Amino acid sequence: MTRVMAVTFAPNGRLYYVDPGVTEAAVGDAVLVPTGSGTEVATVAWVADTHIGADLPVCNGRAGREDLARDERNRTLKAEATEIAKALIAEHGLPMRVVGIDLDDNSAEYGRIVAVYYTAPQRVDFRALVRDLASALGARVDLRQIGTRDAARIVGGVGACGRDLCCALFLREIEPVAMRLLKGQDLAANQFQAQGACGRLKCCLAFEQPLYDDFERRAPGLGARVVTEHGPGVVVGRSVPSDTLTVRCGDGQRIVCPVATVGISSAHGVADVDDV
């Protein structure tokens, strides 16, 4: 077992996993976490003993008063930089949308670097914008165009399931989602239902597909004659999330049964679902 600590850099934000090292911290404590742009302040979400297969960054200790002040100052600067960037983009009439801003105060070569993440329908000539932004912010500006999936990860939100977006909460890598998954999950007839907040196919289609594959191996198909605790019947509905089948019995009654409790009828063949 390895001691693992989950931290987040924003309220209800994505969880990142670190090695606590010698740091004794409880849920809600502010700690120092090494990142690609230097050490940042994060909040502890949970600490537990668990198995982990990857090397984790080591926590640099609890955040002190100066660390918290710097973090609050950077949050204020990000908010101000966001408003300045939006205003200048509107002034230049560019088809861009600011998604997020990062500050890097640890660059000895360039001083403070402000990274502006944006989305745009096509390539944008932002040379004049960069000059004005650098002058207004007093820093080197790095404009980075990102896709709609990455934008949804940065902005966050709630999915159709009522939970926080997977990309913002726990997915480390966002992988392409194949169209063929729609047919396997009975969504081909309603592709809008399969779209996520980013307008692309939902990420959950990909990591839920093994559940559908396993269900197909175990469960009778629509129209299959089966035997249930209530007698013989025909499968007229299937639900992968609940791992159940809807069976219409001989008396016309429909019952919902766990897949594990349904057996294949000795009367082989497939019935016409509409006629049963």
Q: What is residue 276's predicted lDDT score, i.e. its pLDDT?
A: 44
Tell me the C-alpha distance between 215 and 209, whole Å: 10
Domain boundary among 104, 127, 146: 146
How many CB atoms are located within 10 Å of the residue 200 CB?
Answer: 16
Looking at the structure, do residues 42 and 104 belong to the same domain, yes or no? Answer: no
Asked whether residue 73 falls in the same domain as residue 139, the answer is yes
Which domain CATH number covers 95?
Answer: 3.30.300
Burial of 11 (0-12, 13-18, 19+ CB in 10 A): exposed
Residue 16's DSSP bridge partners are 7
Q: State how far the Cα of 10 lies from the Cα of 75, in Å rounded to an integer.
A: 10
Residue 46: CB atoms within 10 A of its CB come to 11
* pLDDT on residue 233: 93
Q: What is the mean pLDDT of residues 127-143?
A: 92
152 burial (CB, 10 Å; 0-12 / 13-18 / 19+) is buried
**120 and 164 co-located in one domain:** no
Same domain, 204 and 185: yes
Q: Do both 101 and 34 map to the same domain? A: no
- Report the C-alpha gap between 4 and 44 in whole angstroms: 11
Whether 196 shows a pLDDT value over 50: the answer reads: yes
Total of domains in the chain: 4
pLDDT band at 268 (very low <50, low <70, confident <90, very high): low
Which residue range(s) make up the domain with 8? 2-63
State whether 77 and 133 are in the same domain: yes
Residue for token pair 């040379």 = 127
The span from the CA of 182 to the CA of 123, in Å, is: 31
Q: Which one of 108, 124, 146 terminates a domain?
A: 146
Query: Does 266 lie in the same domain as 227?
Result: yes
* Domain co-membership, 158 together with 138: no
Q: What angle do CA 43, 48, 49 make, to 5 degrees?
A: 145
Residue 144 banded pLDDT, cuts 50, 70, 90: very high
Task: Please say if the pLDDT value at position 129 is more than 50.
Answer: yes
- Does residue 194 surpass a pLDDT of 50? yes
Q: What per-residue confidence (pLDDT) applies to 258?
A: 93
Q: Which residues contact 63 (CB under 8 A, 6 or more apart)?
A: 30, 31, 32, 41, 71
Q: Decide: 8 and 15 in contact? Cβ < 8 Å.
A: yes
pLDDT in tens, 83-123: 999 999 999 999 999 999 988 765 544 567 889 999 998 88
For residue 275, the model assigns a pLDDT of 47
At 238 the pLDDT is 93
C-beta contacts of 96-100 below 8 A and 24+ residues apart: 96/120, 96/124, 96/126, 97/151, 99/146, 99/150, 99/151, 99/154, 99/155, 100/154, 100/155
Domain's final residue, options 146, 169, 192: 146
> What's the confidence (pLDDT) of residue 273?
46
Task: Give the model's pLDDT for residue 2.
Answer: 75
pLDDT digits (tens, 9 = 90+) for 51-77: 666 788 999 999 999 999 999 998 898
What are the residue ranges of helices labelled H in 98-225? 127-137, 148-155, 166-169, 180-184, 204-218
pLDDT class of 269 with cuts at 50, 70, 90: low
- pTM for this model (two decimals): 0.68
Mean pLDDT of 147-167: 84
Q: Is the pLDDT of residue 22 over 80?
A: yes
CATH code of residue 247: 2.30.30.140
What distances in angstroms separate CA 22 from CA 38, 52, 83, 173, 199, one per listed residue? 20, 18, 40, 29, 44
- 253-258 mean pLDDT: 92
Q: Are 140 and 77 in the same domain?
A: yes
